[in-house]
Structure 1
Amino acid sequence: MSIQANNVRKILARNILADGFEPVLDLEKSHDSWIVDKRDGSKYLDMFSMYASGCIGYNHPRVLENKDLLAKVSLFKPTLSDIYTTEYASFLDTFNEIAIPDYLKKTFFIEGGSLAVENALKVAFDWKVRKNLSKGIKNKGYQVIHFKEAFHGRSGYTMSLTNTDPIKTKYFPKFDWPRIDNPYLNFPLTDDVIDSVKDREKLAVKQIEKAVKENQDDIAALIIEPIQGEGGDNHFRCQFFQKLRNLADEHDFLLIYDEVQTGIGITGKMWAHQHFTPSLCECIPPIKKKPIPDIISFGKKTQVCGILVGDRIDEIDDNVFKKSSRINSTFGGSLTDMVRFKIILETIRDFDLLENAKNNGLYLLNKLHELEKEFPAFVINTRGLGLFCAFDLPSGTERDKLTAEAYKNKLLILGCGIKSIRFRPHLTVTKDEIDFTIDVIRKSISNLLK
């Protein structure tokens, strides 16, 4: 039965809460960063990239060249946890070559970013509890330190970590795990801002040390987003990540970076935490160890989700990567998603899209700074790393009015945090598309200020 585009929302509303965007995605005609509405052919510039899961735009030539391969692997969904294919091996070979750091060689795949985080936690619990048992310590190793305004998912364990909009976790049972103040930066970075953040970092470190002391032998991991996305595009100093690395080593817990939203190029590097090196962020000595993680969770742009894990878990002989079925799922990720991600990775490499994200991200940030100068009482706290950009408005109400006004002018953007606008362009975004974005925002602000 053929469905008319104008009837899509009505049909969906019979069974689901159909309160999403109005346009009906035309899968064939949408292109680059542009969504075509199948109802009337109108075009919208997509600057939210399907909640940061889009990567190389719609109908990229490289994807279209591989339609037959994608069709073939979509005909049957194998249980990759136990049944292997050449396409699976080819994907993992490419993932290794282009995107897996040499310090995170252990890999686990699953479907969904929340479940990626869940399994990162399970790796940590298993590691910590087994370490405790080897010392004769029982029934400990079950807590996770996390931060205010974090978003790590909406399933099981992750709901005990997520604390952005209360509607996402309200009435669901949660663990009472240590929650730490998040010492994020405000912009522009004045001396007073830096001094204030340093004080807040010291407070956060004290809170972590207090949590460790009050829960002796019970902290399995500390988890943090390199940039808190859903919580308000909150940036941290590299030096803070160095302190977290040191604390993880000193107090024997694993350091987990949730890179579900920040991974795969949007910051100008494959992984956001790769910005946290002494040469790039001028970490002050002494540096005991680079602020690299023990585990990262990935998703969104990767299409298939999962975790990358370092060698620290080999301190335990029977860790989850050596003991069968300790972590597992029926499908072990989607083969179709893996093949699509392989194509995406090759496209990022061959078209130098990390450099595009870096250069056009700087262009976007500079344009946002121009808006800030033009509307200093309305556009504030402009910030960004690569294409991962945002600014604040005076209130959440004004933020919501601006996103609605932008939508009327064919621009799709999202809010985050209490009063922020976030930008999540595709890595292929052009300067012309950024100019269109800025023009729409300027026009929308002017309309709101009339």
Structure 2
Amino acid sequence: MPEIKIPAEEVFPVLKENILVDGFHVVIDLERSHGSVIVDALHGNEYLDCYGYFATLPLGHNHPKMKDEGFRRSLMTAALANPANSDIYSQEFAAFVKIFRTLAVPDDFRYLFFVAGGALAVENAMKAAFDWKVQKNRVRGIEGGGDKILHFKDAFHGRSGYTLSVTNTDPTKTEGFPQFDWPRISTPYIEFPIDRGAVAKKEEAACAEIEAAFERDPAGIAAILIEPIQAEGGDHHFRPDFFSKLREYANRHEALLIFDEVQTGLGVTGTMWAYEQTSVTPDLICFGKKTQVCGIMSTRRIDEIKTNVFHTSSRINSTWGGNLTDMVRCARYLEIINEDGLVENAAIVGAHLKEGLNELSGDFESVTNVRGTGLLVAMDLPSGDVRNRVWQGCWDRGLAVLACGPRSIRLRPPLVFSEDQAAEALGTLREVLENLG
């Protein structure tokens, strides 16, 4: 049988006949792309990758250790069929879970659940919280309730059923689709350089909204849901003290605290999970993107209800329970991340990247609000129009970057990104800014 592949010049014509083609005008060359460099099979152009498939690519392309023959045999074995992991088990599945537990799961977390897709990870975390709160209410003699998720403005948690009610970054993604009217709280994010007085006022306002929401419906709110860093909404960062307040509210009102770490997880912030840079441990973490397979992890707080979703058959489930091929790939990624110290690399190179962006901010009035943790960094431009021109200028000069929020550029390089590549990216950004006109 021939390879399942067509000439690069036929890719867009074939796709446009069948699907909406509104992504980047690049045909990825999966064989020639390497590390943090994307090769376009259509034109032969190379791009320094600060995009990373929307932060899903931890090692870039064709990492030498991914060519290990034993790993490739395991990957092929997993790929030839797609077992229903929820109902029938395999050696490959167990090997992945063991590696994931050892290298990625913090000690405070007891339970795991796997599913395909970050939105479904968040959705199942919400279902775990609904189930928990409803049973908590019954213990107190209250029937019903437990049917709301307190969440934040500028949040992106996915586009599936329940997550449509908490995602609110762009009306195009949610408008016209049925949604629940759940408490939506103002976002007290930091703008840099920090004005502590202004941030404190924003936090006070947000806390007043949270308290009012719990007063209106104390039995209704099942969970507080937040991204440790709001990515699509504008790379919004929060003070650690604000997370401590959320922890207090969740404890006081018998709600679960859920951190959506789909984009911030697996080392990009310079720690395995972003929450580890705070003094707060959430009850549930949603993971995905760089982990390849998505899902949730839970602390033992959920065991305050013994018949929770991690103990009741079919309460949460999916046919494939993730995807075995993704699991095998994730296991190898984790081994390499651990062997090569790539979480530490993200912290070191990310610091250089942010320092360079701050230098650009000092040289160009148009660059403001530089922020970042590890390799998850961003900057603001004066307007959406200027941001779009900078974005296009970067791509035209071979630097793949992303937009976010109303006027931000965000960088999402892989964990293997080097200091030399950071310097190259900063040089390209400088050139673009110098030529804005």
TM-score between both structures, scaled by the size of structure 1: 0.95
1:239 to 229, 238, 241: 241
Contact 2:218 2:253 in 1 (8 A): no
SS in 1 for 2:258: strand
CA distance in 1, matches of 2:419, 2:72: 29
* % identity of equivalent residues: 50
Cα distance between partner residues in 2 of 1:20 and 1:63: 27
Please name the residue that 2:127 is paired with. 122
- Tell me by how many angstroms 1:352 deviates: 0.3
Q: What residue in structure 2 maps to residue 258 of structure 1?
A: 260
Partner residue of 1:85? 90
Q: Which one of 5, 9, 17 corresponds to residue 8 of structure 2?
A: 5
**Cα separation, 1, equivalents of 2:76 and 2:121:** 26
Instruction: Find the counterpart in structure 1 of residue 303 from structure 2.
Output: 314
Q: Spell out, residue by residue over 1:260-306, the C-alpha distance to the aligned partner (whole angstroms, 9 max, x if none).
A: 000000000000000003xxxxxxxxxxxxx1100010000000000
Aligned residue in 2 for 1:27 = 30
Per-residue CA distance 1:121-161 (angstroms, 9 max, x = gap): 00000000011112221121100100010000011000100
Which secondary structure state, in structure 2, belongs to the residue aligned with residue 448 of structure 1? coil
Q: Root-mean-square deviation (CA), in Å?
A: 0.9
Selected match of 2:141 from 136, 139, 156:
136
Please point out which of 90, 97, 111 is paired with 1:106. 111
Corresponding residue for 1:332? 321
Match of 2:162, as an amino acid? Y
3-state SS of paired residue (2:146): coil
How far apart, in 1, do the equivalents of 2:309 and 2:74 lie? 33
1:414 is aligned to: 402
Alignment partner of 2:109: what SS?
Answer: coil
Equivalence for 2:157: 152
Shift of 1:374: 1.0
Q: Which residue of 1 aligns with 2:421?
A: 433
What is the match of residue 286 of structure 1? none
1:210 match: 212
Q: Secondary structure at the match of 1:45?
A: strand
Structure 1 range deviating more: 75-84 or 58-67: 58-67
- Gaps of at least 5 residues in structure 2 are none
| Count of aligned residue pairs for this structure pair | 432
- Give the corresponding residue for 1:288: none
Q: Secondary structure at the match of 2:436?
A: helix
Answer yes or no: is 1:223 the counterpart of 2:225: yes
Distance 1:407 1:212 in 2: 46
Instruction: Indicate if the aligned counterparts of 2:357 and 2:426 stay in contact, CA closer than 8 A.
Output: yes
Is residue 158 of structure 2 the alignment partner of residue 170 of structure 1?
A: no
Corresponding position of 2:272: 270
Q: Residue by residue, what CA displacement relative to the aligned partner does 1:42-94 show, whole Å, maximum 9, x if unpaired?
A: 21111010000010110111211122221121000000001111111111111
- Aligned twin of 2:283: 294
- CA–CA distance in structure 1, aligned partners of residues 47 and 303 of structure 2: 49
User: In the alignment, what sits opposite 1:43?
Assistant: 46
Return the offset for 1:211: 0.2
Q: Deviations over 1:212-236 (max 9, x none)?
A: 0101211100000000000000000
Alignment correspondent of 1:287: none
Counterpart residue number, 1:281: none
1:2 Cα offset (Å): 4.9
> Residue type of the partner of 2:395?
Y
Q: Distance in 2 between matches of 1:38 and 1:69?
A: 28
Distance 1:231 1:2, change over 3 A: closer
Is the partner of 1:105 in helix, strand or coil? strand
Give the partner amino acid of 1:372. S
**1:53 maps onto 2:56 in alignment:** yes
Paired amino acid for 1:210: A
CA distance in 2, matches of 1:347, 1:30: 19
SS of 2:124's equivalent?
helix
Distance in 2 between residues matched to 1:69 and 1:313, nearest whole Å: 35
Distance 2:43 2:174 in 1: 38
Which residue identity is paired with 2:225?
I
| Matched residue SS, 2:435 | helix
What amino acid is the match of 2:15?
L
CA distance in 2, matches of 1:42, 1:209: 54
Q: Match of 1:72? A: 77
Q: CA deviation at 1:446?
A: 1.4
Residue 97, structure 1, aligned to residue 102, structure 2: yes
AA of the residue aligned to 1:443: E
Displacement of 1:41 in angstroms is 2.2
8 Å contact 2:154–2:233 — kept in the other structure? Answer: yes
Q: CA deviation at 1:394?
A: 0.2
Question: How far apart are the structure 1 equivalents of 2:307 and 2:427?
Answer: 57
Q: Aligned partners of 1:21, 1:425: CA distance in 2, in Å?
A: 17
Q: Distance in 1 between matches of 2:231 and 2:348?
A: 21
Q: Which letter does structure 1 place at the counterpart of 2:237? A: H
Show CA shifts across 1:13-61 (max 9, x none). Answer: 1111111111111111110011111123221111010000010110111
Q: What amino acid is the match of 2:412?
A: R
| 2:361 aligned with 1:372 | yes
Note if 1:345 corresponds to 2:349: no
**What amino acid sits opposite 1:213 in the alignment?**
E
Any conservation in 1 of the 2:131–2:308 contact (CA below 8 Å)? yes
Once the two structures are TM-superposed, the CA of residue 196 in structure 1 deviates from its matched residue by 1.1
